[in-house]
Structure 1
Amino acid sequence: MPAPTNTLKAALKRGETQIGCWASLADPYATEVLSTADFDWILIDVEHSPNDLRTIMRQLQVLEGKRANAVVRLPMGEDWLIKQVLDIGAQSLLIPMVESADQARDLVRATRYPPNGIRGSGAAIARASMFNTHDNYIKTADAEICLIVQVESRAGLTVLDDILATEGIDGIFIGPSDLAVDMGYHGDTSQPEVRDAIKDALERISATGKAAGIISMNDKDAQEYAEWGANLLAVGADILMLATAARNAMALWRPRTDR
């Protein structure tokens, strides 16, 4: 039995727009709730959320068989961490702060078995192969890995074409807030210079046929990003959804009780 088909990777290859949501609460129950909204993908965030290997695995488990494909964003592109996350069943990764083609090539190698990479061959005892029930896992796993790299600095944009040309990279995700910080605007993505940089990047990525990714909680901005070529589009985050709903409820009721 081969490795499971990565339906997110297949959809992106067909050029289909995939709408996603950030899972930042680091809890499988909350991520399962998100899955009922029928997002195309849900990002398990490890960069800015208190996830560890076991909470990542439990969220992969609750998303299995759901419409929403799991994407794991690691805090860095370390070989050992990539190996562990792939072994617990992740097939789609988002790696932040990529700023060179060499870095992108190293990430590709970390996700592939020899001779194409350096991934350790321990699949027989790993959840990724369903504990060796997928007996052809090692032969077929490489083709089902979806590797998205995050470009979120001026240095990364300078070499965007080189990163795009890296074989094995399935797409590039623009980090708008970090980019705005790096450009000197303290995270303000509404600045014309930032918007121009985002538009140019998304259009260039989309023109190559690779996935063009970005996140926005603002519907107007998200729609513009889609028009500029974004087809891996995150439109929400669980923490912000919860916080907004809670604050709105209390904003409605506080005046009624403070009379």
Structure 2
Amino acid sequence: MIKEEVDLVYPLFDGAAETGKITRKAFTEWVVKVYTSRKALAHSLNDTKTAVKELNKLVTAILMVVTLVIWLLLLEVATTKVLLFFSTQMVALAFIIRNTCKNLFESIIFVFVMHPYDVGDRFVVDGVPMLVEEMNLLSTVFLKLDNEKVYYPNALLGAQNPHHWSPIHTVVVKEIENMNKMKMALYSNHTITFQEYSERNIRRSEQALAIKKILDDLHIDYSLLPQHVHLTKSDKN
């Protein structure tokens, strides 16, 4: 490897950029991380293909019906009165299954337009942390921590409010300095995968600004302790 390639590889291993050496533990962790990422990507691509195939079948069925109607009109097999009768019945049927059509449209928008997560991402539904196991056109399969599978309709997931942070967090007192300062650390969990570095940094900045605003609203600030001032009188000739 040339030097430029080495400089790009070292930051991928824990501690290698500082020491210039790759330990066996760091190399093992990197291999496991790459395997997990590639596995999640393979599952995501597979589920995306599955959703596309389901959508393709739906569109194909609609096109076949439209083609059949046009073909009957061209051959003058069906008159406009017959088509008007069938169209009236279709409108009535659509009114009956309007909720199903609405859920189908919302699911298509949720999967292909919004696409808030991929297979392997961590997800919190009703306060329960889960892992995205499988994505379909109408539903998503989640895996709980005890390997229990849960099915949620995509139309229902699209109506929930998005959360950038998990409600599970920890506040640790790090140090008390001079009996007038207390340094504390906030540990919170992201709801995205570790690969999205730019999004993680944006969320951390927004979190820090939000904490500052909360402290300002609560009028929590820091003031210097009273300082002793000693005045000395100098004799002047």
TM-score band, normalised by shorter chain: under 0.3
TM-score after normalising by structure 2:
0.25
More helix by share: 2
Structure having the higher Rg: 2
Question: TM-score, structure 1 length as denominator?
Answer: 0.24
